[in-house]
Structure 1
Amino acid sequence: MSTVLIEWLNLGLRWFHVVAGIAWIGASFYFIWLDLNLREPPRWKKDQGIKGDLWAIHGGGIYEIGKYQLRPKKMPERLHWFKWEAYSTWLSGTLLLIAFYYVQARSYLVGPDSWVSTPEMAIVASIAFIVGGQLLYEMLLRTALVRRGLWFAVVLVGVIALASWLAQQLFSGRAAFLHVGALIATWMAGNVFWGIIPAQKKFIAAVSDGREPDPAPAVFAKLRSTHNNYLTLPVIFCMISNHYPFLYGSEYSWLLLLAIGVLLAWGRHFFNLKHQGIVRPGILVSSGLGLVLVAVVASWAASHSSMDEDAVGTKMSATDIDVLIDQHCTNCHSPSPTQPGFQAPPAGLVITDTDSLLTYRTKALPALHSHYMPLGNMTGMSDEQRSAMVHWLEQQE
Structure 2
Amino acid sequence: MDVFIGEWGNLLLRWAHMIVGIGWIGTSFYFIALDYSLNQQERKSPGVFGTAWQVHGGGFYHVEKFTVAPPNLPPHLHWFKWEAYLTWVTGFGLLIIQYYFHASAYLIDPAVMPLEPWQAIAISIASLLVGWFIYDGLCRFFGDRTVPLAASVFLLILLAAVLYTKVFSGRGSFIHVGAFIGTIMAFNVFVTIIPGQRIMVGQLLRGEEPEAKYGKVAKQRSLHNNYLTLPVLLMMVSPHYPFLSAHPHAWMVVALILIVGGLFRHILNRIDIGEPWEKYGWAAPMAAFALICAIFVTAPRQMADTGPVISDSEVLAMTAKHCTMCHARRPTHESFKEPPKNVTLETLADLKRYSQLIMIQTVRNKAMPLGNQTHMTDEEREQLGRWLRAH
TM-score bracket for this pair, using the shorter chain length: over 0.9
The question of 1:207 aligning with 2:204 is answered yes
Could you say which residue in structure 2 is the equivalent of 1:94? 92
Cα deviations across residues 313-356 of structure 1 (Å, max 9, x unaligned)? 25213443233223322221223322211122223333333443
Give the conservation status (yes or no) of the 8 Å contact 2:68–2:212: no
The question of 1:23 aligning with 2:23 is answered yes
Pairing of 1:34-45 with structure 2 (within 5 A): 34-43=34-43, 45=44
Give the conservation status (yes or no) of the 8 Å contact 2:325–2:332: yes
Pairing of 1:247-262 with structure 2 (within 5 A): 247-262=244-259
Hey, what's the Cα distance between the residues in 2 that align with 1:146 and 1:71? Answer: 22
Alignment-mate amino acid for residue 24 of structure 1: W
The question of 1:78 aligning with 2:79 is answered no
2:154 equivalent among 157, 163, 183: 157
Give RMSD over aligned pairs. 2.1
Residue segments in structure 1 that go unaligned for 5+ positions in a row: none
Moved over 4 A (4+): 70-74
- Quick check: 77-86 or 373-382, which moved more? 373-382
Alignment-mate amino acid for residue 22 of structure 2: I
When residues 214 and 116 of structure 1 are mapped into structure 2, their CA distance, relative to the original with a 3 A threshold, is: farther
Tell me the TM-score normalised to structure 1 length. Answer: 0.91
When residues 136 and 70 of structure 1 are mapped into structure 2, their CA distance, relative to the original with a 3 A threshold, is: closer
Residue segments in structure 2 that go unaligned for 5+ positions in a row: none
Could you say which residue in structure 1 is the equivalent of 2:382? 387
When residues 387 and 117 of structure 1 are mapped into structure 2, their CA distance, relative to the original with a 3 A threshold, is: farther
Cα deviations across residues 113-164 of structure 1 (Å, max 9, x unaligned)? 2334221211111112212211211111121x23221111111111111111
Hey, what's the Cα distance between the residues in 1 that align with 2:249 and 2:349? Answer: 31
Hey, what's the Cα distance between the residues in 2 that align with 1:71 and 1:59? Answer: 29
The question of 1:111 aligning with 2:103 is answered no
Post-superposition shift, 1:228? 0.3
Give the conservation status (yes or no) of the 8 Å contact 1:249–1:367: no
Post-superposition shift, 1:74? 4.8
When residues 248 and 395 of structure 1 are mapped into structure 2, their CA distance, relative to the original with a 3 A threshold, is: farther
Q: Percent identity?
A: 39
When residues 323 and 72 of structure 1 are mapped into structure 2, their CA distance, relative to the original with a 3 A threshold, is: same
Pairing of 1:1-397 with structure 2 (within 5 A): 1-43=1-43, 45-47=44-46, 49-72=47-70, 74-143=72-141, 145-278=142-275, 279=277, 280-299=280-299, 302-304=300-302, 313-368=307-362, 369-395=364-390
- Quick check: 289-298 or 168-177, which moved more? 289-298
Give the conservation status (yes or no) of the 8 Å contact 1:53–1:66: yes
- Quick check: 82-91 or 245-254, which moved more? 245-254
Cα deviations across residues 81-123 of structure 1 (Å, max 9, x unaligned)? 0111010010111111111111111111111323342212111
Query: Number of matched residues?
Result: 387
Post-superposition shift, 1:373? 1.2
Aligned residue for 2:76, secondary structure, equals coil
Give the conservation status (yes or no) of the 8 Å contact 2:324–2:346: yes
Alignment-mate amino acid for residue 341 of structure 1: S
Aligned residue for 1:372, secondary structure, equals coil
Aligned residue for 1:350, secondary structure, equals coil
When residues 285 and 178 of structure 1 are mapped into structure 2, their CA distance, relative to the original with a 3 A threshold, is: same
Hey, what's the Cα distance between the residues in 1 that align with 2:333 and 2:374? Answer: 10
Hey, what's the Cα distance between the residues in 2 that align with 1:359 and 1:79? Answer: 60
Alignment-mate amino acid for residue 388 of structure 2: L
When residues 237 and 318 of structure 1 are mapped into structure 2, their CA distance, relative to the original with a 3 A threshold, is: same
